[in-house]
Each structure stands twice: as C-alpha cells, then as structure tokens.
Amino acid sequence: MNENQGAKLKVIDYHGFLSAEDYENMKLKLPDIMEIPAGLDSDRNTLQDYIIKIKNDKDNKFIRFYGLHTQEPYTTKMKDGEFVTGEDLETGRMYESLVRDGKLWKDEKWVEEFIQFIVKRTEFINKETGNDHGLKYIEVHPPKTDLLNDKPKNFFDYYEIFIRAIHQKLGEDVEIFMENSNGSDHLAFSKYKGINEYAKKMREIKDRTGLKSYIALDIPLLLKSHNLKCKERDCQYSKIEKEFINIFTNLRESRDLIRSVHLWGYNGGNPHNGDLNSLFYSNENRNNDEISKEAEDLKNALLKNLKELLDDGKERYLLLELNNSYAEQRENIIKDLRGNGFQIM
C-alpha cells in the first residue's frame, strides 16, 4: 500500500469515561483530546465536571486539548412554561434568542447569541484549565430544511457569519464540524445527497471567503436516515449491503471535508450504549449475545465501504459515542475497525 494511502483514525476521548489503563488494554495511544458536551442547556456546574477531568489528567500528560459538542435537538430546562437555553456564565441571564422553538440558525440574532454562548464557555474552560489554546474543534448541528433556502438570508448566510466570528475570536486553527442528522423533525444534511450539497456549498464559501468548515460523519445516524436498520425477522441483508455501496460511493464527493467519524450502537434499543453488532440485530436475536452470520457480514460490509471512503491517507478523528464506562464495547468497535483494515492512531 502506498504510504500516502490508508484509512487513519485518531481516537478522541468521549466525556472522560475511560481511564489510561482502559486505553492501554485496547492497545491504543492515550488520546490527548477530550470531547466536552456543551449543549445549549449546559451551565457552569456541567462544565466543571469535565474541567476536573482535564485537570486531573494534566499531570499524566493525558488530555491536553478539548472539543466542544454544542447544541442538541432538545433542552432539559424550563422557565415560565417555556423551554429555554443558553445561560450566560457570568450573569445567569438566559439568552433570549436561544429559546428552544425547534429551529437552530433561525436568524442573525440567534447566531450572534450562539457565538457569545460558545466564546464565553471556551474562555471559562480555558481559564479553569490554564490552557488558552486548548480548544481544537467545535461541533454543531444542522438547521431545519426550510432554512436552507430562506429569504432574504438563509442558513449558509448565517453560518458564514458564525464561522468568521469564531475564527476571529477563538483562532483560525479552531476547526468547525457540522454533524449529519438522522432526518427527523425535518433536519437538513441527513442523507448522502444532503451531505454532498453541504460540502458543495462549503467549497463555494471557501473559494469566495477562505472560510472553512468540515463534516462530522455519524455512521449510525446516516444508516437511520436511510432506513438501513434491521427491524424485521426477514431483514433484507443483500439489499442493505447494495445500499451501502451506493451511499458510500456517492459520499466520495464529500470525502475531502470529512474530518471526524462517530460510531456507536444500541443496548436493548437504547442508543449510544452498545457496539456495532447491535446495528444489525434482527428481532429474534436482538437480545442474544451471539450475532447472526448475516448480521456479522453486514457489519463488515459497512466497515469495508467506510474504509474505501476514507482510504486517502488523511488522519481523521474517531469518536466512540458510548454513554457508559464499559471498555469492552469500545474494544469491540476497535477490533472491528482493525479487522477491516483501519489504522487506529
């Protein structure tokens, strides 16, 4: 294989669930980046939990940097009967334009307050950790599809304002990722066609302004948006495998902008709690420890097509989004990746 080729993935620590020993047992280098959840409902106490983890790791030269996973498609706070988000860390005031009404990127005021929200949280984390250059990336989520062609300004007009402001205030080396959606609630950038349209538009913006934004490709969400999850006993494995080829071949149009890959699975139907085997269980074996031969083949077909998509020698981030401390599930995913030819950095 040419030394400039290969599907290379660098592991990012997800929320500090694992110890240095866990990574060593998986024969992985200790990750130097931790992803911190900073949803619109995050507050000082939420962030402090992750700041403590970063501080505790500094002496071991473990975690040196962090990424911010920002707004979620929901909130957990209510005030005066309304869902609200975006607490100012200094004053406690709720940002008025970040009130949850189901629309992200809805207007310029929303974008202005979202920029303030991110900048103040970054400044707070940097101050508490003593690292003014700790932020490596910011991950954001898509708008609803009706905002893509809104008038007189649409999502991409607002997104351009956002990227420019983040680079001015936090540094041009801070990368910005747009995560694909699962297609629910009319969210954009869910199927491969939408992801390719996003990539095309971002190339146009880069050519015109020099501004850059990348893609965080969440594989289980991509499968869900294309309805490629076995739900019936007679799961059509051959049909799904053919669709893998179609999806990942078409996504090569966006390959140059894919900067991060998310992988996770289910446990008893709960997302972000299992390995990749759970993506292809049919009903009769979903709760069994053993996966059917067909489902095993389908999992490997998925990873084969993903590898071919990413086989360009560029190093990308790998985020194993599991909301637990079970190292075994992560180890299973790493084994699957290595078994299908990925280079885990």
Indicate whether 3 belongs to any domain: no
Q: Can you say how many angstroms the Cα of residue 243 is from the centroid of all Cα atoms in its chain?
A: 23
> What's 168's domain CATH number?
3.20.20.150
What does the pLDDT read at residue 231? 57
What does the pLDDT read at residue 234? 61
What does the pLDDT read at residue 21? 87
- pLDDT tens for each residue of 32-82: 999 998 887 777 888 888 888 887 765 555 788 999 998 664 444 555 555
> Domain total for the chain?
1
What does the pLDDT read at residue 90? 77
What does the pLDDT read at residue 141? 94
Q: Can you say how many angstroms the Cα of residue 52 is from the centroid of all Cα atoms in its chain?
A: 23
What does the pLDDT read at residue 120? 92
What does the pLDDT read at residue 40? 77
- pLDDT, mean over the chain: 87
Q: What percent of the chain has pLDDT over 70?
A: 87
Q: How far apart are the first and last CA of the chain?
A: 17
What does the pLDDT read at residue 61? 58
Q: What percent of the chain has pLDDT over 90?
A: 58
Indicate whether 25 belongs to any domain: yes
Indicate whether 149 belongs to any domain: yes
The whole domain housing 279 covers: 8-344
Give the confidence band of 85 by pLDDT, cuts at 50, 70, 90: low
**285 pLDDT more than 50:** no
What does the pLDDT read at residue 254? 98
Indicate whether 278 belongs to any domain: yes
Give the confidence band of 325 by pLDDT, cuts at 50, 70, 90: confident
* C-beta separation of 250 from 264 below 8 A: no
Segment 175-193 mean pLDDT:
93
Indicate whether 235 belongs to any domain: yes
The larger pLDDT score, comparing residue 166 to residue 290, is at 166
What does the pLDDT read at residue 191? 97
What does the pLDDT read at residue 53? 83
Indicate whether 159 belongs to any domain: yes
- pLDDT tens for each residue of 293-315: 878 889 999 999 999 999 999 99
Indicate whether 2 belongs to any domain: no
CA distance 325 to 43: 23
Helix axes of 237-250 and 293-310: crossing angle, nearest 10 degrees: 10
CA distance 307 to 336: 12
Q: Which of 47-56, 79-88, 197-206, 255-264 shows the lowest mean pLDDT across its residues?
A: 79-88
Q: Which of 41-45, 93-97, 236-240 shows the lowest mean pLDDT across its residues?
A: 93-97
φ and ψ of 31, to 5 deg: -65, 145
The larger pLDDT score, comparing residue 155 to residue 277, is at 155
Indicate whether 280 belongs to any domain: yes
Residue 336 neighbours by CB under 8 Å, 6+ apart:
275, 276, 299, 300, 303
